[in-house]
Amino acid sequence: MKNIRSRFLYALLGAALLLVPGALSARSHSLYVVTTGDVHGSWFAAPYVGDGSAKTSLMSVKYYVDSLRAAVGGDNVLLLDAGDCLQGDNAAYYYNYVDTAGPHLFSRICAYMGYDAVTVGNHDIETGHAVYDRVNSELAGEGIPWLGGNALRTSDRTSYFPVYTVLDKGGLKVAVLGFTNPNIKAWLSEDLWSGMEFISLIPCVQKWVDVVNEKEKPDVVIVLVHSGTGEGDGSVLESQGLDLLASLEGVDLLVTAHDHRPRVESKGGTYMVNAGSRAGYVGYACIEVDKFAGRLRSKSVEADIVRLDKNKVDNAMAEAFSEDFEAVRAFTNRKVGTLAMDLYSREAFTGMSDFINLIHTVQLGVPEADISFAAPLSTDGRVSGGDVIYNDMFTIYPFENQLFVVRMRGSEIKDYLEYSYDNWIQTPGEHVLRIRKGEDPRYGTENWSFEGPTYNFDSAAGINYTVDVTRPAGSRVEISSLADGRPFQENGWYNVAMTSYRASGGGNLIPLGAGIEDVEDEGRVVARYPEIRDMIYDFISSRDVVTPSEVGDRKLLGEWKFVPGQVVGPLMKADMELVFGD
């Protein structure tokens, strides 16, 4: 990670504190930009359950940005967000789907904090038209544009969201352009983004930058993209940050997001900043502009990321939204049901477990499903036995995925599983799990972790099979029968329950694993159901006690395991200890 040394920020802020109004030359201007991204509903600092410690949140951001406003003058500060605001926390869920009577909490918070512009993220689109159309309208009513210039209406190819806004800040004309992630179609079912298509940021962003520079003639140009950093080689559609940094002309600051990885880079006088996730950091930039007689003489940009202190929050903001917090907390602590056992998501990486069995059991409960695919969506989640409250539902199933049932050939199911396990395990050497040791830029720590995202580690239920770790990739999975003992036929057809994310191509298991280009276009979707979390809620709440036997019925789930046991056992135990530390 390329960072400007922190002393730059302290020196800059110290100098700013010495400034008095009117001390600057009439032709010198300083614009201070604070950015957030991937906040994922982290709006409150206090915990919803128990007396746990505080966490960074938008209340930490408010404390920081108000300190800066007090130091340099509020008119010289720009507050921007790079998307993924409406998903990932109890508060977001509550105001998306439960309390919908009044203005959305996010719209109110943005107005309270004084955001100047926000960008649409893929998880914002995941909430569905009813939610994001409402928020878009509310933000517009507050004078806050929700930008997404590459989301085009299919009817006339005009932008569904605003492309840019022009702001007067500190005597400067500032253009802010915003774009969402172009890969949304690969992750979300069409009903969530109906009426739209999403085009690549290259060359879309440069085209609009040229238009804005020609039409508006701004002093400063800032581009917000809900796109990850990427490798800079043009190979990853969802992560085009470095691609843009290398190619954009006429841009002073590029703000990225999506991958949750704090990072700062610069090229040719343009800076790229990514503030990570959940308000753990903010991006910070100082843009110095020297004008004479209305004409630009010089311009310079410096940028960094700043770690926020979770204990420094805006107390006035906490008080202003205290009733909202209490409503979310009451909802979060509502009892759902009772578990007879603990659930550990990490156990799903070693074989069948109560955690993943619960999800499979629910998915196989729909009448169309013969087989189920599912992955642990939290890497190290735990739900203790006993009373289950609604907060636990976000541990069991963090995302708002729907359930799809897709028609697949037996050979496609096998190829799908081969692809999944190749992301997950390797032919034994020093390790059997695909793990590596290195710095995690999201948290600034060095540790052992999985090479790929664990939410793509699908196992299957409804069949009996083994995974031979000693065999090469593509030949590890051997399916012996369906769960009820009937033969499994590679040329047969089966209905497979999976998430809407997976059915839409998320994780590439369908297109690259099974070799199915598009399940919708090929007419393979035979059933759709509501959000899987809601189905799990109904399953737990409808029973007095959920027991291991109830979620582990081998006649329904079948059985799978890694073989040979004498090879897998010691290596798996050692690898799990490296990743989880116990």
Higher per-residue confidence, 439 vs 240? 240
- How confident is the model over 144-196, as pLDDT tens digits? 999 999 999 999 999 999 999 999 998 999 999 999 999 999 999 999 999 99
Closest residue by Cα to residue 423 from 374, 456, 389: 456
Q: Where in the chain is the domain with CATH 3.90.780.10?
A: 335-580
Average pLDDT over residues 186-211: 96
Q: What is the pLDDT of residue 441?
A: 59
pLDDT band at 292 (very low <50, low <70, confident <90, very high): confident
Assess whether pLDDT exceeds 60 at residue 11: no
CB neighbours of residue 567 within 10 Å: 15
Tokens 């600051």, residue located = 253
Closest residue by Cα to residue 373 from 348, 399, 343: 348
Q: Where in the chain is the domain with CATH 3.60.21.10?
A: 31-329
Assess whether pLDDT exceeds 50 at residue 53: yes
The CATH fold assigned to 335-580 is 5'-nucleotidase;  domain 2 (3.90.780)
Helix (H) / strand (E) containing 141: helix 129-141
Lowest mean pLDDT among 141-155, 246-260, 283-297, 342-356: 283-297
Which amino acid, residue 66?
Answer: D
Q: What is the pLDDT of residue 265?
A: 98
What is the C-alpha separation between 197 and 530, in angstroms, rounded?
A: 23
Lowest mean pLDDT among 87-101, 284-298, 492-506, 508-522: 284-298
Give 89-93 contacts, CB < 8 A, sequence gap 24+: 89/40, 89/41, 89/42, 89/43, 90/41, 90/48, 90/328, 90/331, 90/332, 90/390, 90/391, 90/394, 91/41, 91/43, 91/44, 91/324, 91/325, 91/328, 92/40, 92/41, 92/43, 93/41, 93/394, 93/400
Assess whether pLDDT exceeds 60 at residue 26: no
Assess whether pLDDT exceeds 80 at residue 461: yes
Assess whether pLDDT exceeds 90 at residue 535: yes
Rounded to the nearest integer, the mean pLDDT of the chain is 94
Average pLDDT over residues 321-337: 98
Assess whether pLDDT exceeds 90 at residue 368: yes
As a three-state string, the secondary structure of 546-582 is ECHHHHCCHHHHEEEEEECHHHHHHHHHHHHHHHHCC
CATH 3.30.830.10 fits 31-329, yes or no: no
CB neighbours of residue 486 within 10 Å: 10
Average pLDDT over residues 459-483: 98
- How confident is the model over 382-392, as pLDDT tens digits? 999 999 999 99
Average pLDDT over residues 421-446: 86
Report the sign of the C-alpha dihedral through residues 245, 249, 252, 254, in that order: negative
Q: CA torsion 53→85→391→365, rounded to 10°?
A: -150
Instruction: Return all residues near 54 (Cβ < 8 A) that are at least 6 apart.
Output: 45, 46, 47, 310, 311, 313
Q: How far apart are the first and last CA of the chain?
A: 30
The distance from CA 467 to its chain's CA centroid, rounded to whole angstroms, is: 30
Q: What is the pLDDT of residue 379?
A: 95
What is the C-alpha separation between 460 and 164, in angstroms, rounded?
A: 45
Tokens 């909802």, residue located = 331
Q: What is the pLDDT of residue 7?
A: 36
Average pLDDT over residues 299-327: 97
Assess whether pLDDT exceeds 70 at residue 80: yes
| pTM of the entire predicted model | 0.90
Q: What is the pLDDT of residue 374?
A: 98
In the chain, pLDDT over 90 holds for what percent of residues? Answer: 91
